[in-house]
Amino acid sequence: MIYRAIGIMSGSSLDGLDIVFAEFHENGGKWQFEIRQGDCLAYPPEWRSKLEQAVTLSAREYQLLHTDYGHYIGTRVNAFIDRHDLHYKIAVIGSHGHTTFHIPERRMTGQIGDGAAIAAETGLPVVSDLRAMDVALGGQGAPIVPIGEQLLLSDYRYLLNIGGIANLSVKGNVYRAFDICAANRVLNLLAGELGKDYDEGGALAAGGVVLDALLEELNALDYYRLGGPKSLANDFGTDTVYPILKKNGGPVADQLRTYVEHIVQQVARALETDAGYGQDDHQLLVTGGGALNDFLISRMKEVLKLTVIVPDEKLVLYKEAMIMALMAVLRWREEVNVLSSVTGASRDSAGGAMWLGTQM
């Protein structure tokens, strides 16, 4: 069976809206994929500001933003379809939305970007609210990409995604995954102090020095002592980590260098929770915007006891959006798309609200 779907992802780093057209082949339970087209659409300043401020809004204004953002996504998808001549080729859209509140201990998670609005704009079936069912079942609702990693990237024992938050997946007798630490969200905030959207290639960090006292304080944060399953809200980077960096001070280049080292050390600690780490010639597949940070990747290759693989740029940039498309396909098939072994929920689930944009 062949499925053609669009996946949409807005990450916590706010670098833009990722839209992917992917083709999936399923034969006897075996899945293959191809990313056919992908765009990362930078947010206009007004939309970046709206998303940054979403958690401060009144209930009324928050709901209006939820609706407005859904219509905005829908118009961006329509433009994507026009640009790549995809009319009448799309079976379903999977939209992650943009995470605002994530409080799994209260069985609540919030992603804005109304699925009904997207369906109304595009006239296509849309699956949204992909984390909600898992959280309702007592899970962390994160990470949710391991179902795609399990079905599509099973050759790798370890998979690391470095976006606004870094998360790790470990394939074993039981598939495990969890958020490691804040990543690009913090690095981008620091680069912004120097008038840059991000530290291209990690060049600024490479010119700095490690601030030992700062590194020690970062590594002592309570989250790192928790066992899995565990997940991080977007505000961990902005409200917990960034103030520590500012309190300690020092040149921005040194703060960047120190935070790169912090990410590397926390990735190493996360890998060490797996009994097989360092014993065999395993590979670590690295995706997400952080995979393009040459200095960060070079430090990982120096420190980690395995082979670090950065794949082709399409997979680096669009893996998560592509898996949103797969999750929508699985939801359409009424099959499991969130793994309880990863999230700690009471059972696996077929998550997502479905909106039929087609006229009946």
Give CA angle at 48 (47, 50), nearest 5°. Answer: 60
Q: What residues pair up with 26 in beta bridges, in sequence order?
A: 31
Q: For residue 288, is pLDDT > 80? A: yes
Residues 55 and 101 in one domain: yes
Mean pLDDT of the chain: 95
What CATH number has the domain bearing residue 332? 3.30.420.40
pLDDT at residue 279 in the model: 82
Cα(35)–Cα(23) distance, integer angstroms: 7
- Of 273, 242, 236, residue with least CA distance to 259: 242
Cα(342)–Cα(315) distance, integer angstroms: 22
Boundaries of domain holding 302: 156-315
Asked, for residue 151, whether it belongs to a domain, the answer is no
Residues 101 and 242 in one domain: no
Q: How confident is the model at residue 234 (pLDDT cuts 50, 70, 90)?
A: confident
Residues 179 and 299 in one domain: yes
Asked, for residue 230, whether it belongs to a domain, the answer is yes
Residues 226 and 273 in one domain: yes
Torsion (CA) 121, 62, 191, 158 in degrees, nearest 10: -70
Cα(306)–Cα(302) distance, integer angstroms: 10
Residues 205 and 163 in one domain: yes
Q: For residue 12, is pLDDT > 80? A: no
Strands lying side by side in the sheet with 158-162: 176-182, 165-170, 158-162, 283-287, 307-309
- Of 141, 65, 61, residue with least CA distance to 103: 141
Asked, for residue 282, whether it belongs to a domain, the answer is yes
Q: How confident is the model at residue 224 (pLDDT cuts 50, 70, 90)?
A: very high
Specify the number of domains making up the chain.
2
Residues 89 and 225 in one domain: no
pLDDT at residue 360 in the model: 65
Structure tokens at 6: 């669009």
H or E stretch covering 62: helix 59-83
Residues 84 and 201 in one domain: no
23-70 pLDDT, tens digit per residue, is 999 999 899 999 999 999 999 999 999 999 999 999 999 999 999 999
Q: For residue 13, is pLDDT > 80? A: no
Asked, for residue 360, whether it belongs to a domain, the answer is no
109-135 pLDDT, tens digit per residue, is 999 999 999 999 999 999 999 999 999
Q: How confident is the model at residue 280 (pLDDT cuts 50, 70, 90)?
A: confident
pLDDT at residue 208 in the model: 98
Residues 130 and 172 in one domain: no
Section 256-274 average pLDDT: 97
Residues 197 and 332 in one domain: no
How many CB atoms are located within 10 Å of the residue 34 CB? Answer: 12
143-195 pLDDT, tens digit per residue, is 899 999 999 999 999 999 999 999 999 998 888 999 999 999 999 999 999 99
Cα(324)–Cα(19) distance, integer angstroms: 10
3-class SS of residue 113: coil
pLDDT at residue 235 in the model: 87
Q: Contact at 8 Å (CB) between 319 and 326?
A: no
pTM over 0.85: yes
DSSP letter string, 162-231: ESSEEEEEE-SSS-EEEEEEE-HHHHHHHHHTTT-SS-GGGHHHHTS---HHHHHHHHT-GGGGPPSS--
DSSP letter string, 275-296: TTTTTS--EEEEESGGGG-HHH
